Amino acid sequence: MAYDSFNILKSTAVPLTIENVDTDQIIPARFLKATERVGFGDNLFRDWRYNPDSTPKGDFVLNNPVYKGKILVGGKNFGSGSSREHAAWAIYDYGFRCVVSSFFADIFRNNCLNIGVLPVQVSAGFLEKIFAAIYHDPDTELEVNLPEQTISILSTGDKESFDINSYKKSNMLNGFDDIDYLLNIQSDIEEFAKKLPL
């Protein structure tokens, strides 16, 4: 088992309404110098979260104790830019298990799925409802049900279904990763390689 399995997650959520959040914001490049996967959560959203002298910026949502939980809700086009998996690691290490947005950048989405953070893409309208519900009551809980592929706002009863391919869904439910699968078909891969022109 390569990472925690994911089934049903019920949690309050942290709202980050800004759009086009790129992975340089999620984790700036100067924090990519580790050779192990530890401690990235400390620098999640580093330059939005801390002043240059390392004091917290009061107006950033992660510094507002009212908002907490295992779900991060982001504006449209979340995770654009650099392919650094460190962005997904930082989100995981901080304590998030699910990111919700109306649109995800491809590589970021893949990276999340590969480490056990569930990216949930909802409609723009549903995203607005989630933000509104959280701003109305920060203790609003969301329920992300992976087996049924639904996300609900428990206080309002609003519910929407989301897509995930059946292979990745099974991996997430069981905590398996792609290498487990690939190692099982290694002899097929080696046969395939013999026939390639390059």
Partner 1 sequence: MSKTLFDKVWDAHVVHKIEGGPDVLFIDRHLIHEVTSPVAFLGLRNRGIKVLYPERTFATADHNTPTINQHLPVEDPLSANQLKALEQNTAAYGIRHWGLGHNKNGIVHVIGPENGITQPGATIVCGDSHTSTHGAFGAIAFGIGTSEVEMVLSTQCIMQPKAKKMRITINGSLGKGVLPKDVALFIISKLTTSGATGYFVEYAGSVFEQMSMEGRMTVCNLSIEMGARGGMIAPDQTTFDYIQGREFSPKGADWDNVMAYWKTLKTDDDAVFDKELSFDGSEIEPMITYGTNPGMGIGITHEIPDAKQVEGGVATYEKSLGYMGFHEGDQMIGKKIDYVFLGSCTNGRIEDFRAFASLVKGKRKAEDVIVWLVPGSHIVEQQIKEEGLLNILTEAGFTLRQPGCSACLAMNDDKIPAGKYAVSTSNRNFEGRQGPGSRTLLASPLVAAAAAITGKVTDPRTLIQ
Q: Which residues bind partner 1 (CB under 8 A)?
A: 17-20, 22, 24-25, 28-30, 32-37, 47, 52, 75-77, 80-86, 88, 103-107, 110-111, 114-115, 165-168, 177-179, 181-183, 185-186, 188-190, 192-193, 196-198
Query: Between 45 and 141, whose beta carbon lies closer to partner 1?
Result: 45
**Per-residue 3-state assignment (H helix, E strand, C coil) for 107-166:** HHHHHHHHHCCEEEECCHHHHHHHHHHHHHCCCCEEEEECCCCEEEECCCCCEEECCCCH
Query: Between 37 and 139, whose beta carbon lies closer to partner 1?
Result: 37
User: Minimum CB separation from partner 1 for residue 183, in Å?
Assistant: 6
Upper half-sphere CA count for residue 27 (Cβ side, 13 Å)? 24
Parallel, antiparallel or unpaired: strands 71-74 and 8-16:
parallel
Q: What is the DSSP letter of 85?
A: T
User: Minimum CB separation from partner 1 for residue 32, in Å?
Assistant: 5
Query: Between 107 and 141, whose beta carbon lies closer to partner 1?
Result: 107
Q: Is 15 exposed, middle or buried (0-12, 13-18, 19+ CB in 10 A)?
A: buried
Tokens of 194: 């013999």
User: Minimum CB separation from partner 1 for residue 63, in Å?
Assistant: 17
Query: Between 34 and 173, whose beta carbon lies closer to partner 1?
Result: 34
User: Minimum CB separation from partner 1 for residue 179, in Å?
Assistant: 6
User: Minimum CB separation from partner 1 for residue 137, in Å?
Assistant: 22
Tokens of 118: 């569930």
